[in-house]
Chain A
Amino acid sequence: NAGVTQTPKFRVLKTGQSMTLLCAQDMNHEYMYWYRQDPGMGLRLIHYSVGEGTTAKGEVPDGYNVSRLKKQNFLLGLESAAPSQTSVYFCASSLLAGGRDTQYFGPGTRLTVL
């Protein structure tokens, strides 16, 4: 039982490049989330999904897109990376809705945009 896994662990991009972060969970959770963590800011919700085929905007969605084609996977895309997107990105999942339940986190992806 791997829990929540994220790929890749580290990435360096140049401004304007694109990339996709992959999150996978093996707990059969309905709800999945993408957060970014910046120094002194805690975690901020980017996008989330309440089930396969659904996505919704969180607190800081601009510059990101997501897809949930399969229940176990949640992809985060950056179409045209900017230095302001340098951050650590965490994926999480939960059995019940986000505000009602424990969330299980992946190990994070450290992204640097030059």
Chain B
Amino acid sequence: SQQGEEDPQALSIQEGENATMNCSYKTSINNLQWYRQNSGRGLVHLILIRSNEREKHSGRLRVTLDTSKKSSSLLITASRAADTASYFCAYGRVSGTASKLTFGTGTRLQVTL
């Protein structure tokens, strides 16, 4: 399977702590994206980092990309109960005329008060 792999599968932390999720992939990529999915809802885009970028920030989110190791990490700082959700990485590949986004299996984050 070409699916990305995420680690850990589940993460439980207390409010105020930082949460780190990792994503690994196997092919050359154009970009890597992170999405959030609240229970029973659709996916919402969080951040996109291009293959020539190493780090990107958006509010409390920090994403890193290491193309030599084919891995990315998502850091959520000062987590809140509202951050409780599943988080998916997705990497974009461009091959010939095909251009596709491949999703990882996700990390379930639980933030408790």
Contacts and interface: CB of A to CB of B under 8 A. Distances in A.
Bind each other: yes
B27 to A, nearest CB: 11
Contacts of B33: 102
A48 B3 CA distance: 18
Contacts of B105: 40-42
A17 B41 CA distance: 26
B45 A104 contact: yes
A103 B105 CA distance: 17
Contacts of A100: 30-31, 92, 94, 99
A43 interface: yes
A51 interface: no
Contact of A105 (B44, B93, B99, B106): B44
> Could you tell me the dominant secondary structure of chain A's interface residues?
loop
A99 B101 contact: yes
A63 B105 CA distance: 23
Nearest to A110: B40
Contacts of B31: 99-100
Interface residues of B, number: 27
B81 interface: no
B106 A107 contact: no
Contacts of A42: 3-4, 88, 103-106
Interface residues of A, number: 24
A105 B43 contact: yes
B100 A98 contact: yes
Contacts of A48: 100
B108 to A, nearest CB: 11
Interface in B97-113: 98-106
Given A42-B103, A42-B105, A45-B100, A99 B93 contact: yes
B45 A99 contact: no
Given A42-B3, A105-B42, A98 B104 contact: no
From A48, A102, A107, residue with most partner B Cβ within 10 Å: A102
Interface of A: 4, 35, 40-45, 48, 58, 90, 92, 97-108
